[in-house]
Each structure stands twice: as C-alpha cells, then as structure tokens.
C-alpha cells in the first residue's frame, strides 16, 4: 500500500469515527472502520471495533469474522521473533 492510499484510508477512518459518534446504531459503521483498520495494519483498533459490535450483536457473522482476523493478526505481532 502506498502512502497516498494509506492516507486516504486514514481519512475514511476519521469520517467514520465522526459518523459513529452521531449514529443511533453505529454497528455497520464500526464494521466498516474495523475493515479499514485491518487494511492499514492496525489490528488492535480493528479488534476493538469488531468486539464493540459483538457486544451488541453477538451473532453477527461479519463481526465474528473480523474479530478472528484481527485477533490472529494481534497474536502474530505479539510473538517474539525467532532467531536465525
């Protein structure tokens, strides 16, 4: 991903964040933002958004899928690097 693409995705995240603050039911927006967080490599925030949706809708398949993907990514980043 180029810096320009990343900046565009971060701007989308900012817009979604503002919309989420004013939304009566922000779940759909949070899922969109979760996907964008994953695309820019921020699995921690992606996981947070997916779990917020699951708190409201525990059976949401998209939220479950995003949670698994983000959790897997977080765990991969936390594992110590093996020496070669």
Q: What is the rounded CA–CA span in Å between residue 46 and residue 78?
A: 16
- pTM (2 d.p.): 0.87
CA 41 centroid distance within chain:
9
Question: What are the residue boundaries of the structural domains of the chain, listed by start?
Answer: 3-76
Which tokens sit at 24? 């009566």
Buried b (16+ CB within 10 A) or exposed e, 37-66: bbebebbebbbbbbbbbbeeeeebebbeeb
Residue range 3-76 forms a domain whose CATH class is: mainly alpha
pLDDT digits (tens, 9 = 90+) for 37-66: 999 999 999 999 999 999 999 999 999 999
User: Tokens 């900012």 belong to which residue?
Assistant: 14
Give the chain's mean pLDDT: 93
């Amino acid at each position: 991903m180029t810096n320009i693409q990343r900046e565009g995705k971060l701007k989308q995240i900012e817009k979604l964040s503002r919309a989420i603050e004013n939304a009566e039911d922000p779940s759909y927006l949070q899922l969109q933002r979760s996907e964008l967080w994953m695309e820019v490599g921020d699995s921690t925030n992606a996981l947070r958004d997916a779990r917020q949706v699951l708190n409201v809708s525990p059976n949401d398949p998209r939220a479950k899928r995003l949670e698994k993907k983000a959790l897997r990514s977080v765990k991969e980043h936390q594992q110590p690097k093996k020496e070669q």
